[in-house]
């Protein structure tokens, strides 16, 4: 068994089809000054054909997995229109008298090399986008009609060093059992597409294979666990066949509980909200019976475009979401960029520690023009539904008061214009920084609700970058310090009489559910894909029993002790379920 990183859940079993590592190799071709016009015509013709192809792919992807994933190809189209990228190519043709394909390859190599030097997953993803777009343009310039993914008429697990969105878009989804790449990231465009297509995906295998995978090797990949088996024995195959069958049957049965109220066995209500990046996901939110939207990540409105979204544009998106939810709450988080999320048109200064730097509410308070535009849009949308506003990465009372002062100013501006809004809109904040967790009692006195952002809180408490492969094993949400700090925040909310919710990966981890029930959490905001799985366990859990369990967990000295207690509880629940069903 080889352990990589799971990027899209599910089990795939089948023969490997390996895409060979492939690079362009052609001689450097010079042109005469009299050929400049013709060379530019070739370049522009190649760009037109590339754009036409991308528009077609975008439409095909939209029909298969929806608008949310189709936006990826807007980023590719934007590269072909990027003035810096195009000026570099044109400059090489015009000043160095090199053929268009030579100029394109030089610029691709330059930008890809530059971005790959930066230790940042987002920038490496941009490098892959540029490579993908550049290769498409080169194919047109060279008249190459071949494909890097030959058509295969039987089911297979695709194996590659790295995979681009274009390659994935060209695959026949009926034959793709799973994906396996040596490189890649869980937040990459390919990972996003794989999850949307429900294709199991395991990545991060660099340096872990004893020999290269060959065409025809029988593979088992588990996208949940991030594991790979190459030519496993009969017992392993039979074990995974049974697991896959059980999982598919279980997944199908979950839809039956979509409309069931999220109550524990002893009738404790826990609202299960969904996290979304786009209004396009709301249909699935409603289909899976979510209580509302607990986190609308608005930064995706700002990404993969050339300029900031206007107030009107944002208002229409927020309004549409509020109307679609028909009175269910929607918590709109203000812009959370910086760290691993960047905007091409709003470059931020290079920082040694971007996750500890200029990001989230710090940018909003510094850029009042940007902040006020978003707040006005959210306020206007609040007239059309149960809209709430939430500030990310707050660390002090001063920041909360500053943000609230901008909100009051926006209210006055809208009132002066006679624009309707909910004057009593609820205001909340995310607890992601240890400082905020420690003074949660102080912050709670200023807001209507708080939401614990577990991803950042855990990595800040433990001083562990969860994206750093060398220390990723130290990222442990079940560390006793994390559990104790969670209790501090939740207790502060109870004393202040305001609800405390939880978002992030830990919120959707079924294993952690007894902790949330035991600590008295009444709201979880989780991915729409895992919502029904969490509800399934919630319906068979007893809140009072979980309270006793948490009392024991708080006495644990290691994460192993905590995980063992949780495992025993899960085993006991399963046994009682079997006994109760007989």
DSSP for residue 117: T
- Cβ atoms 147, 170 nearer than 8 A: yes
In this structure, are strands 2-3 and 227-230 parallel, antiparallel, or unpaired? antiparallel
What are the CA-CA distances from residue 13 to residues 179, 315, 434, 438 (Å)? 11, 46, 43, 47
Is 380 annotated as belonging to a binding site? Answer: no
Task: Transcribe 309-371 into DSSP letters.
Answer: PPHHHHHHHHHHHHHHTTT--EEEEPP--BTTB--TTS-----SSGGGSS-THHHHHH-HHHH
Classify 73 in phi/psi space as left (phi over 0), alpha (psi -120 to 50) or beta.
alpha
Among candidates 455, 458, 546, 450, which has minimal Cα distance to 501?
A: 450
Is 144 annotated as belonging to a binding site? Answer: no
Neighbours of 9 (CB within 10 A): 19
- Cβ atoms 276, 300 nearer than 8 A: no
Is 455 annotated as belonging to a binding site? Answer: yes
For residues 303 and 214, what is the distance between their CA atoms, to the nearest angstrom? 38
Catalytic: which of 76, 140, 273, 503? 503
Is 495 annotated as belonging to a binding site? Answer: no
**485's tokens:** 């700090």
546 is catalytic: no
Maximum Cα interatomic distance, the chain, rounded to a whole number of Å: 87
- Cβ atoms 152, 17 nearer than 8 A: yes
For residues 189 and 197, what is the distance between their CA atoms, to the nearest angstrom? 12
Q: How far apart, in Å, do the first and last CA atoms of the chain sit? A: 36
For residues 475 and 373, what is the distance between their CA atoms, to the nearest angstrom? 37
Is 466 annotated as belonging to a binding site? Answer: yes
Catalytic: which of 140, 189, 273, 479? 189
E strands in 422-576 = 426-431, 449-453, 500-503, 523-527
For residues 553 and 564, what is the distance between their CA atoms, to the nearest angstrom? 10
Is 456 annotated as belonging to a binding site? Answer: yes
Among candidates 53, 33, 73, 45, which has minimal Cα distance to 142?
A: 45
Residues in the chain: 582
- Report the binding-site residues for Mg(2+): 432, 456
Sequence ranges of the binding site: 297, 333, 432, 455-456, 466
Annotated binding site for phosphoenolpyruvate: 297, 333, 455-456, 466
What positions carry a catalytic annotation? 189, 503
């Amino acid at each position: 068994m080889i352990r990589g990183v799971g990027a899209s859940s599910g089990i795939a079993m089948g023969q490997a089809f390996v895409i060979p590592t492939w690079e362009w190799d052609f001689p450097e071709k010079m042109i005469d000054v009299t050929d400049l016009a013709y060379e530019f015509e070739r370049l522009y013709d190649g760009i037109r054909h590339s754009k036409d192809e991308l528009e077609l792919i975008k439409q095909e992807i939209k029909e298969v997995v929806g608008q949310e994933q189709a936006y990826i190809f807007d980023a590719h189209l934007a590269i072909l229109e990027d003035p810096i990228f195009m000026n570099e190519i044109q400059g090489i043709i015009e000043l160095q008298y090199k053929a268009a394909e030579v100029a394109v390859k030089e610029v691709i190599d330059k930008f890809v090399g530059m971005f790959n030097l930066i230790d940042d997953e987002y920038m490496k993803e941009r490098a892959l986008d540029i490579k993908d777009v550049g290769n498409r343009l080169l194919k047109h310039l060279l008249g190459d009609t071949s494909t890097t993914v030959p058509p295969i008429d039987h089911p297979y697990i695709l194996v590659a060093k790295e995979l681009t969105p274009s390659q994935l878009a060209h695959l026949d989804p009926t034959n793709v059992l799973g994906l396996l790449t040596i490189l890649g990231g869980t937040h990459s465009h390919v990972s996003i597409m794989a999850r949307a297509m429900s294709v199991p995906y395991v990545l991060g295998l660099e340096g872990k294979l004893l020999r290269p995978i060959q065409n025809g090797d029988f593979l088992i990949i588990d996208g949940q666990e991030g594991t790979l088996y190459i030519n496993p024995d009969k017992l392993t195959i039979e074990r995974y066949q049974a697991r896959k069958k059980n999982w598919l049957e279980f997944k199908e049965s979950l839809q039956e509980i979509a409309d069931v109220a999220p109550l524990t066995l002893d009738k404790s209500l826990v609202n299960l909200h969904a996290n979304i990046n786009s209004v396009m996901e709301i249909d699935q939110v409603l289909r899976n019976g979510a209580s509302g939207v607990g986190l609308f990540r608005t930064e995706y409105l700002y990404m993969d475009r050339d300029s900031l979204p206007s107030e009107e544009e944002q208002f229409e998106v927020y309004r549409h979401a509020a109307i679609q939810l028909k009175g269910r709450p929607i918590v709109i988080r203000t812009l959370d960029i910086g760290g691993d999320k960047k905007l091409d048109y709003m470059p931020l200064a290079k920082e040694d520690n971007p996750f500890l730097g200029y990001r989230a509410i710090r940018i909003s308070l510094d850029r009042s023009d940007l902040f006020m535009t978003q707040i006005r849009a959210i306020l206007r949308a609040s007239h059309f539904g149960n809209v709430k506003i939430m500030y990310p990465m707050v660390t002090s009372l001063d920041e909360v008061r500053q943000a609230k002062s901008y909100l009051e100013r926006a209210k006055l501006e809208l009132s002066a214009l006679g624009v309707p809004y909910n004057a009593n809109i609820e205001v909340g904040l995310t607890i992601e920084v240890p400082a905020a967790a420690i003074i949660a009692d102080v912050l709670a006195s200023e807001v209507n609700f708080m939401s614990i952002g577990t991803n950042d809180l855990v990595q800040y408490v433990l001083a562990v970058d969860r994206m750093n492969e060398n220390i990723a094993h130290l990222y442990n949400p079940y560390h006793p310090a994390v559990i104790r700090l969670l209790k501090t925040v939740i207790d502060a909310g109870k004393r202040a009489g305001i609800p405390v919710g939880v978002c992030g990966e830990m919120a959707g981890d079924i294993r952690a559910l007894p902790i949330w029930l035991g600590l008295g959490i009444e709201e979880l905001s989780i991915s729409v894909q895992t919502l029904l799985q969490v509800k399934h366990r919630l319906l068979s859990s007893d809140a009072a029993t979980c309270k006793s369990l948490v009392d024991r967990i708080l006495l644990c000295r290691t994460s192993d002790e905590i995980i063992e207690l949780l495992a025993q509880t899960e085993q006991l629940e399963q046994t009682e379920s079997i006994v109760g069903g007989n």
